[in-house]
Structures are given as structure tokens and as C-alpha cells.
């Protein structure tokens, strides 16, 4: 299954690796120093509890980032691996015959997202962070006859590249903070 041809029976699109790496790295950069700082400052929350919370959060974030978009002759589907509990991330399927239109909506931050509107009025968010988004949009246009020439991804790759760069800088500061915390602990 590839995302290279409209004529294939099914095309699978995964979340962009740049987005996945950036978000996982940012999560790690924001959380890893906490147990060390908790120990040094004698915070009321024990470091072990923070490690459990951080680990649980990392698994939950990774689960969200395993989203797959499958398009085939029947429709478009957003799905997750079987290990992701359905109560956590359900996914959805929309047959091409049920797609009424693709409607833009402004986000709270001023961005633009698109929703499929079905014949019965339900809205399904167009996945915009997949690798091969332009190809996905081309398939949607082919299958629905909806003009998608103005549909663009919510965030451009350069935005995630900049965020990744700043995240790597934050990880360097984290390394310094953890080293300082460990040194301070050894001195006391």
C-alpha cells in the first residue's frame, strides 16, 4: 500500500515523521527535568510519581501520533493501531458517496482547517499533518469532485523544523539542569 497512485486499491498515509519527532522531542524536553528538580527542591510530589506520569503521558502522546489515514475506492478512514484503546482514539470512516462538501473553519489561532460534511450533517476533520498531504488532497478531489486547489496544510514543514530546532536547544538546557540537579543532590 502506497500513497503514490490514485489507482491503487488503498493508500495509507501516516503522520509526518518531522511532526512526530518534533512533538515527541518537545514532550521529552518539557517533562524530563521535572523528577530531578522535584528531588532537589524537595517538592511534595515524589519523583517516582512524576516518572509514572511522564511515562503514561509519553505512551498517550505516541498513541495519538500513530494515526493513519486510509483511502480506498469505498471512502476515507482515520484509524489507529489495535493497541490504542478505542475509548482513547476512536477514528472514523466516511464513504465517498456520503461526502457532501469540504468546509473550511478558522482555528482559535487564526489557522484554517477543513471538515468533510456528510449527507447527514456530521463533520469529519480532514487529517492535515500526514506525510503526502498534497497527494491525499488530490485523491479526495478525484473521489468527490470537490475543488481542493486552495486546501493547504495547517502548518508548513518549516514551522515544525524551527520548533524542532528550539526543542533541541531546550534539550541542551535540560541536560544542564539535570546535571546541576544531580550535582546539587550529591553535595547535600
Position 14 confidence tier, pLDDT thresholds 50, 70, 90: very high
pLDDT (0 to 100) of residue 2? 43
Query: For residue 153, what pLDDT is reported?
Result: 84
Name the residue among 160, 157, 97 with its Cα closest to residue 133.
157
Residue 59 grid cell:
505512551
Is the pLDDT confidence value at 74 over 90?
yes
Helix axes 17-31, 157-187, angle to 10 degrees: 20
pLDDT at 187: 63
**17-21, 109-113, 147-151, 158-162: least confident range:** 109-113
Going by pLDDT thresholds of 50, 70 and 90, the confidence category of residue 154 is confident
**Cβ contacts of 36-39, under 8 Å, gap ≥ 24:** 36/177, 36/178, 36/181, 36/182, 37/177, 37/181, 39/181, 39/185
Residue 6 pLDDT grade (very low, low, confident, very high; cuts 50, 70, 90)? very low
pLDDT computed for residue 3 by the predictor: 43
Query: DSSP assignment, residue 47?
Result: H
**Number of alpha helices (DSSP H) and beta strands (DSSP E) in the chain:** 5, 7
Question: What pLDDT score does 1 carry?
Answer: 41
Cα separation, 5 vs 126, in Å, equals: 19
Q: What is the mean pLDDT of the chain?
A: 91
Kindly state the helix (H) or strand (E) to which residue 136 belongs, with its residue range. helix 133-144
Average pLDDT over residues 86-93: 91
pLDDT greater at residue 138 or residue 188: 138
Res 156: pLDDT: 84
User: Residue 91, by phi and psi: left (phi above 0), alpha (psi -120 to 50) or beta?
Assistant: left
Reported confidence tier of residue 123, pLDDT bands at 50, 70, 90: very high
Of the chain, the percentage scoring pLDDT greater than 90 comes to 77
C-alpha cell at 172: 541542551
Amino acid at each position: 500500500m502506497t500513497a503514490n497512485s490514485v489507482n491503487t486499491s488503498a493508500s495509507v498515509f501516516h503522520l509526518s515523521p518531522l511532526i512526530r519527532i518534533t512533538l515527541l522531542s518537545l514532550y521529552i524536553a518539557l517533562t524530563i527535568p521535572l523528577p530531578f528538580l522535584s528531588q532537589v527542591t524537595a517538592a511534595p510530589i515524589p519523583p517516582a510519581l512524576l516518572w509514572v506520569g511522564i511515562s503514561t503521558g509519553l505512551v498517550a502522546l505516541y498513541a495519538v501520533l500513530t494515526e493513519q489515514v486510509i483511502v480506498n475506492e469505498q471512502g476515507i478512514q482515520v484509524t489507529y493501531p489495535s493497541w490504542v484503546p478505542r475509548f482513547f482514539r476512536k477514528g472514523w470512516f466516511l464513504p465517498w458517496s456520503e461526502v457532501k462538501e469540504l468546509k473550511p473553519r478558522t482555528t482559535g489561532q487564526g489557522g484554517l482547517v477543513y471538515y468533510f460534511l456528510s449527507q447527514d450533517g456530521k463533520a469529519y476533520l480532514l487529517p492535515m499533518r500526514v506525510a503526502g498531504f498534497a497527494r491525499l488532497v488530490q485523491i479526495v478531489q478525484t473521489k468527490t469532485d470537490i475543488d481542493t486547489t486552495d486546501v493547504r496544510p495547517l502548518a508548513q514543514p518549516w514551522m515544525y523544523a524551527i520548533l524542532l530546532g528550539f526543542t533541541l536547544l531546550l534539550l541542551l538546557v535540560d541536560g544542564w539542569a539535570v546535571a546541576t540537579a544531580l550535582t546539587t543532590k550529591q553535595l547535600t
